[in-house]
């Protein structure tokens, strides 16, 4: 029996134990491939059956480089990561896959520190916690980030930023557990996020958006030409909650089927330009008390935010404004022509009522020269919630409207300025007004009562030479005599028309 126990103990002692250690490259301007790491890492990196395996954490030290320029598969053990203090170059012909040995336990991911020279292309990054970027301006292009984050201290977004200004382009973010891209509220990050697709993120259904950022410091964050599409029912599209300055450009994006489209929470520290986006059907939670805004602005002081040229449709709320945020949604009074409205609102609403714009603040708001889908100012009024609906709220200055009913009947007209008599006249309640201009000029068309009081500004815009017509609906006016006036350059003309109900 003693001999049996002795043999058994010897058997256990002589079993091989696979214990690896963190491997760091020497930091002497060396360049490594994955095969090189297999040779020098004492088992921390191995190769078998056509795949590389990271058995422990690998650190590429300052001045060293890791190059992966062939199609490869790399699988990481639980709790390991690839740390880059030098340079990381991933640029294969087709793809490199970073995945987990155990996809249920995941691995930590990749951490890149102070490495402006790093370039990552054609990488599929999956089943990790996060791709962390610290203090650098690296490039990420044509990559896929999927099935990431289990919410650890290593990172809880597919890409986590810290004092970083990466360029992230042409990539796909799908089925990540929380946000796709995230930075701290008080940490200055200024990424350029362009040409990407974000879809089905926040699978954990937390209250986080697909892109979740804060301060930009003295730099500017650009979010341009992306598709930010259907996320979980609790997930918004884009959110900024900066502690510190935030300079933001959001343009050319389609933001659709999220809980909300975009929210900017902050006051005078926010400088934002939001233009030429399609903000569509952000209503997936379908609870107007908890979300559903296409655009939402919250601030304890006025933001320097301009909203122009966007399509805002089929959200539970078109634009909502809270506290004292006071965005500029269209101002033709000032000399700046870059803030002249030109947003298109259509069918934003909930509970059987249209809410294209809800001013839940005591401040007046400029929202001039926008297209509200209707030409009648009274119909526009019905789509805006402001002072007439609640005396404690500020007034929304939405006139003039950018009308939809104007048509150019003759682009080659050159026979002088003319304002024609409306037809029919008398009318009830709709009539057509025609006019002609021989040159490109600023044009206004206004309606007055017999006392000279301005009732409506039907047109206030610049037009090419031509003959134009537009329909005017006077359904909200009482029977009587009214006047319409055309101003085009130095030309002015007034005609009378009669509403007979």
283-302 pLDDT, tens digit each: 999 999 999 999 999 999 99
The more confidently predicted of residues 265 and 18 is: 265
What average pLDDT does range 56-76 have in this prediction?
Answer: 98
pLDDT of residue 8: 32
pLDDT of residue 285: 92
pLDDT of residue 352: 93
| Position 465 confidence tier, pLDDT thresholds 50, 70, 90 | confident
Judged against a pLDDT cut of 60, whether residue 19 lies above it is answered with no
Judged against a pLDDT cut of 80, whether residue 409 lies above it is answered with no
What average pLDDT does range 198-221 have in this prediction?
Answer: 95
pLDDT of residue 375: 74
Nearest in space to 179 (alpha carbons), one of 223, 218, 130? 130
Judged against a pLDDT cut of 70, whether residue 134 lies above it is answered with yes
Percentage of the chain surpassing pLDDT 90? 76
What average pLDDT does range 9-21 have in this prediction?
Answer: 42
What average pLDDT does range 236-254 have in this prediction?
Answer: 96
C-alpha–C-alpha distance, residues 143 and 171, integer Å: 5
The more confidently predicted of residues 11 and 265 is: 265
Judged against a pLDDT cut of 50, whether residue 16 lies above it is answered with no
Encoded tokens for 317:
């709320």
Tell me the average pLDDT of the chain.
Answer: 91
The more confidently predicted of residues 306 and 459 is: 306
Report the predicted TM-score, pTM, of the whole model to 2 decimal places.
0.80
Judged against a pLDDT cut of 50, whether residue 5 lies above it is answered with no
Instruction: Please name the residues in contact with 276: beta carbons below 8 A apart, sequence gap of 6 or more.
Output: 251, 252, 309, 310
pLDDT of residue 17: 39
Nearest in space to 140 (alpha carbons), one of 114, 170, 100, 160? 170
| Position 50 confidence tier, pLDDT thresholds 50, 70, 90 | very high
The more confidently predicted of residues 450 and 436 is: 436
What average pLDDT does range 463-472 have in this prediction?
Answer: 85
What average pLDDT does range 178-185 have in this prediction?
Answer: 96
Encoded tokens for 466:
């031509």
Query: Rounded to the nearest 5°, which phi and psi values hold at 389?
Result: -90, -30
Encoded tokens for 166:
């990466």
What average pLDDT does range 9-30 have in this prediction?
Answer: 64
C-alpha–C-alpha distance, residues 300 and 293, integer Å: 19
What average pLDDT does range 15-26 have in this prediction?
Answer: 68
C-alpha–C-alpha distance, residues 200 and 233, integer Å: 10
| Position 469 confidence tier, pLDDT thresholds 50, 70, 90 | confident
pLDDT of residue 128: 97
Beta bridge partners of 46: 53
What average pLDDT does range 138-153 have in this prediction?
Answer: 91
Query: Rounded to the nearest 5°, which phi and psi values hold at 483?
Result: -130, 145
């Amino acid at each position: 029996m003693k001999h049996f126990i002795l043999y058994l103990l010897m058997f256990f002692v002589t079993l091989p134990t696979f214990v690896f250690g963190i491997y760091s490259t020497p930091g002497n301007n060396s360049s490594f491939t994955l095969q090189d790491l297999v040779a020098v890492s004492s088992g921390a990196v191995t190769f078998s059956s056509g795949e590389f395996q990271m058995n422990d954490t690998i650190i590429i030290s300052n001045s060293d480089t890791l190059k992966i320029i062939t199609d490869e598969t790399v699988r990481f053990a639980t709790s390991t990561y690839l740390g880059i203090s030098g340079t990381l170059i991933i640029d294969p012909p087709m793809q490199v896959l970073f995945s987990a040995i155990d996809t249920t336990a995941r691995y930590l991911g990749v951490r890149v520190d102070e490495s402006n020279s790093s370039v990552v292309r054609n990488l599929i990054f999956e089943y990790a916690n996060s791709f962390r970027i610290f203090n650098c301006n690296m490039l990420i292009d044509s990559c896929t980030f999927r099935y990431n984050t289990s919410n650890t201290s290593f990172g809880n977004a597919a890409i986590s930023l810290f004092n970083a200004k990466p360029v992230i382009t042409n990539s796909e973010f799908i089925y990540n557990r929380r946000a796709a891209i995230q930075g701290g509220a008080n940490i200055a990050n200024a990424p350029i996020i362009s040409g990407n697709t974000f879809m089905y993120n926040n699978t954990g259904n937390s209250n986080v958006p697909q892109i979740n950022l804060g301060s930009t410091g003295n730099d500017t964050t650009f979010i341009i030409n992306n598709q930010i599409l259907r996320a979980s029912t609790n997930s918004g599209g884009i959110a900024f909650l900066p502690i510190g300055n935030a300079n933001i450009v959001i343009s050319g994006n389609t933001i659709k089927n999220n809980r909300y489209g975009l929210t900017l929470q902050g006051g005078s520290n926010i400088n934002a330009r939001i233009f030429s986006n399609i903000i569509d059907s952000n209503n997936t939670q379908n609870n107007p008390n908890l979300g559903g805004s296409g655009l939402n602005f919250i601030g304890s002081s006025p933001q320097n935010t301009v909203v122009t040229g966007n399509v805002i449709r089929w959200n539970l709320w078109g634009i909502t404004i809270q506290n004292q945020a006071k965005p500029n949604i269209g101002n033709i009074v000032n000399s700046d022509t870059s803030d002249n409205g030109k947003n298109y609102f259509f069918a934003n609403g909930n509970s059987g009522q249209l809410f294209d714009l809800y001013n839940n603040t005591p401040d007046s708001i400029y929202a001039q020269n926008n297209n509200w889908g209707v030409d009648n100012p009274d119909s526009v009024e019905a789509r805006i919630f402001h002072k007439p609906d609640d005396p404690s709220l500020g007034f929304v200055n939405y006139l003039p409207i950018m009308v939809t009913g104007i048509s150019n009947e003759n682009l080659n007209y050159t026979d002088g300025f003319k304002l024609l008599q409306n037809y029919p006249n008398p009318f009830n309640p709709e009539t057509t007004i025609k006019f002609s201009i021989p040159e490109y000029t600023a044009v206004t068309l206004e309606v007055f009562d017999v006392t000279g009081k301005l009732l409506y500004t039907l047109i206030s815009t610049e037009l090419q030479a031509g003959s134009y017509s537009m329909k005017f609906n006077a359904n909200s006016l009482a029977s009587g005599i009214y006047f319409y006036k055309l101003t085009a350059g130095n030309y002015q003309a007034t005609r009378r028309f009669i509403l007979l109900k």
